[in-house]
Amino acid sequence: MNIKQSILVRVRVAFICVVIFAICVAARIGHVQVVEGEKWSKLGEQVTFSWMKVEPTRGNIYSDNGSLLATSLPFYRMAMDPTLVRQDEFRKGIDSFALMLSLHFKDRSARDYREMIIDARAGNKQYLTLNRKQINHHSKKEMMKWPIVRLGRYKGGVIFEKSEVRYRPFSELSRRTIGFVNENGNGAGIEYSYNRQLGGVQGEALFQKIGGGTWKPVFDANNKKAEEGFDVQTTLDVNLQDVAETSLHRAMAKHEADQGTVVVMEVKTGEIRAISNLSRYGEYYAEDFNHAVRGSFEPGSTFKLVTMIAMLEGTPVKISDQIETGNGVFEFYKIKIRDHEDGGFGRITIREAFEHSSNIAMAKLADRHFGSDPKKFLTYVDELKMAKPLGLQIQGESVPKITRPTDKAWSGITLAWMSHGYGFEVSPLHTLTLYNAVANDGKMIKPKFVRSIMQADRVVEEFETETIQPKICSDKTLADLRILLEGVVENGTATNLKNSHYKIAGKTGTAQVFENGRYTNRWITSFVGYFPAHAPKYTAIVLIRNPRGAFQTGNSVAGPVFREIADNIYSRDLSLHPVMASVNTTPDQSAFPVIKAGRQEELANLLNELGVSNHSSTEEEWARAGKNGKSVTWKSNKQVRGLVPDVSGMTYRDAVYLLEKEGLRVDHSGHGRVIVQSLRPGTAISKGSSIYLRLAL
């Protein structure tokens, strides 16, 4: 090639580049006409371009320990441009391709698929939906090996149209709190409340229209890359969430209840560790509405705590004072107020009135001390933050409905009814927040659902515990309130929750349901409180609406759910256990080596080597050592699938083997043999649970 020819080639290349650039610019400003099916190689013909939005990948939602609660997974729909396949390749692969489609989707025969594709090809149809069902990434990879598909996008014509689907690994667990965002931008829960952070930033890119009515991206310097969404770390404990939801579901099924709510809150931080909301649909229960956040109910007797704060702070009343409650029926302004005890309580102390939940006592006290100035009573309601939304991290919080003396609905009976929890509505979280303040030395803090916003491992934004009210009452009143709340469980309406391991403090509630302008024979049962009472770490509320059958009170319906959850937490959280006095556990070294539990065959071989007599009373693989004179007797330590093994006395190696075999994550401290395990032996294992072991020589 001479110099003149070389220059001519360079000029032609430069001209082609200018033409391509001009086409891109024209596409950007909308000057390129739509002509389908043209290719870049035909530079003399028109090509269709368009600037399109590029959706970012949505961020993940995590539990407190990093377990995945919600993520976006790629799914695909399968389409095809049958005109792109060469005739020989099409004839060779169409039968096998149609058969694979039929075997995978199972919605039509191989013959039907074959005829559908052949007809589309004969009609020069450049876009054919093969099936509207979505397939996952694994299925797509397998399909890429199929005849025709393996030729590639531009030779085989098969198109995988990608879309992202929100996936929750723990299925329905805390479904409404995690929430959703629909196509219209509406939604609920954390997904909706943190949509801006999770959603990321849209990008923009130049696309070229190709065969089949589809678009492919084209590199352009002006393309704007989509920015992935941030991750959200919540305060939810997956293990505790599972326990709370299971306990609530069991109680609702037992009592055939309509709705139920459980919330567990950490006292010092305000972190919501578990929240479950269930509604009944025939024989099934599902989480379709966040009653704790968006619901409002007449609280019933749990509101008596507010009445006692008003009495102890604003009047000379003492909990040791006495009050006459009569025979269980008292008339206020021609309206009768009743106590639940047949025959009434007679003359009792105010402490006893609270412990046994006397409606008459609360009504008399409120009327006597605030009847002439009900606004003063409402002042305490306002100061305790019961009258306005709490300003939660989750949007859609319900607004309390508090009746005021200036309202038309106010009458002479209103204050008496309000004193024991009727005539107004608040959310379960309002009640929980108040009781948590009592547990937290009077400091009221806002419930917290989200700890931080993350980008990979980097914290973008962290949410601190927020104080609503530094002190809800005096220390003297606070001390009296704790006496009252502990007394409910020790002596009053919730003695069925009492146990010998730790103390619970709280209040039962049983409120009639108000519908169509009247009170019905349906009930809202509740229990709210904290534990351990001497050094509170957790506060919880349980609310169950319309239980059926013989049991329809707070202590018999909601209380056992509270106790079951509290027991589970207590068994797992070793920081709640009192320090035990040290005991001498050293065995008689003159007779036996330090052998307590393990694999029977290995332990027996060891004692035989040491010359120690040993006999077996079991054929189980795992055994415990028992002393029988100067011999060792092996006793059964049977392991049951799905239940927490008893690993006390075992070496760390044996304990880890058994625990990890059951799918438990193991943490430990110390050396030697297991002396404490955080999960009680024989209890059911929750998915993803962890167990802590303390070892000592």
What CATH number is attached to the domain comprising 631? 3.30.10.20
456 and 491 together in one domain: yes
Helix, strand, or coil (residue 196): helix
539 and 419 together in one domain: yes
Task: Summarize pLDDT for 542-566 with one digit per residue, the tens.
Answer: 999 999 988 889 999 999 999 999 9
Domain assignment present for residue 380? The answer is yes
684 and 628 together in one domain: yes
207 and 243 together in one domain: no
Buried b (16+ CB within 10 A) or exposed e, 134-152: ebeeebbeebeebbbbebe
357 and 419 together in one domain: yes
440 and 561 together in one domain: yes
Buried b (16+ CB within 10 A) or exposed e, 248-280: bbebbeebebbbbbbbbbbbebbbbbbbbbbbb
CA-nearest of 583, 559, 524, 571 to 676 is 571
Return the sign of the alpha-carbon dihedral for residues 601, 606, 610, 612: negative
Task: Summarize pLDDT for 145-194 with one digit per residue, the tens.
Answer: 999 999 998 899 898 888 888 888 887 788 889 999 988 888 999 999 99
Tell me the Cα Rg of the chain.
35
**Distance between alpha carbon 396 and the CA centroid of its chain, in Å?**
17
Task: Summarize pLDDT for 226-254 with one digit per residue, the tens.
Answer: 788 999 999 999 989 999 999 999 999 99
Task: Summarize pLDDT for 601-631 with one digit per residue, the tens.
Answer: 787 777 777 777 777 777 778 888 777 767 7
**Distance between alpha carbon 616 and the CA centroid of its chain, in Å?**
47
| Residue matched to tokens 């025969």 | 109
Q: Do the Cβ atoms of 563 and 538 come closer than 8 Å? A: no
Reduced DSSP (H G I as helix, E B as strand, rest coil) percent helix, strand, coil of the chain, to 5: 35, 30, 40
Q: How far apart are CA 646 and CA 678, in angstroms?
A: 11
Domain assignment present for residue 109? The answer is no
Q: How far apart are CA 336 and CA 675, in angstroms?
A: 59
Number of helices (H) and strands (E), helices first, in the chain?
A: 20, 31
- Of residues 583 and 158, the one with the higher pLDDT is 158
450 and 415 together in one domain: yes
691 and 607 together in one domain: yes
What does residue 25 show for φ and ψ, rounded to 5 degrees? Answer: -65, -40
Output the CA torsion 315→317→318→324 (10° steps). -160
Helix (H) or strand (E) holding 175, with range, is: helix 175-178
CB contact set of 541 (below 8 Å; sequence gap of 6+): 261, 262, 263, 292, 428, 429, 431, 432, 435, 526, 527, 528
Query: Where in the sequence is the domain holding 214, given as residue range(s)?
Result: 1-55+200-234
Number of domains in the chain: 3
Q: Which of left, alpha, beta for 148 (phi over 0: left; psi -120 to 50: alpha)?
A: left
| Residue matched to tokens 């019933």 | 300
Domain assignment present for residue 169? The answer is no
605 and 634 together in one domain: yes
| Residue matched to tokens 């876009």 | 127
Q: How far apart are CA 691 and CA 679, in angstroms?
A: 6
Structure confidence at residue 33 (pLDDT): 33
- Residue 455 token pair: 């980008």
DSSP-assigned beta bridge partners for residue 112: none
Q: Do the Cβ atoms of 571 and 597 come closer than 8 Å? A: no
Domain assignment present for residue 272? The answer is yes
* 38: confidence class by pLDDT, cuts 50, 70, 90: very low
Q: Which of 190, 209, 234 is the endpoint of a domain? A: 234
Q: Quick check: 591 pLDDT over 50?
A: no
Domain assignment present for residue 36? The answer is yes
CA-nearest of 400, 403, 392 to 426 is 400
Task: Summarize pLDDT for 245-278 with one digit per residue, the tens.
Answer: 999 999 999 999 999 999 999 999 999 999 999 9
Domain assignment present for residue 77? The answer is no
Structure confidence at residue 26 (pLDDT): 42
CB contact set of 223 (below 8 Å; sequence gap of 6+): 203, 204, 205, 206, 217
Q: Which of left, alpha, beta for 233 (phi over 0: left; psi -120 to 50: alpha)?
A: beta
206 and 283 together in one domain: no
Helix, strand, or coil (residue 618): coil
- The top-scoring range by mean pLDDT among 10-19, 77-86, 483-492, 577-586 is 483-492
Alpha carbon distances (Å) from 52 to 40, 110, 184, 203, 216: 19, 37, 19, 8, 11
CATH number of the domain at 477, please: 3.40.710.10
Peptide bond into 532 cis (omega under 30): yes
- The top-scoring range by mean pLDDT among 14-23, 72-81, 184-193, 374-383 is 374-383
216 and 245 together in one domain: no
Alpha carbon distances (Å) from 26 to 14, 206, 207, 280: 18, 12, 13, 59
- Residue 423 token pair: 């005539």
Q: How far apart are CA 553 and CA 542, in angstroms?
A: 12
527 and 480 together in one domain: yes
Query: Kind of pairing, strands 665-669 and 690-696?
Result: parallel
Q: Do the Cβ atoms of 45 and 38 come closer than 8 Å? A: yes
DSSP string, 468-490: EES-SS-HHHHHHHHHHHHHHHH
Structure confidence at residue 100 (pLDDT): 94
Domain assignment present for residue 76? The answer is no
The residue type at 473: C
Domain assignment present for residue 68? The answer is no
Q: What is the mean pLDDT of residues 459-477?
A: 95
Structure confidence at residue 103 (pLDDT): 95
CA-nearest of 354, 616, 649, 363 to 489 is 354
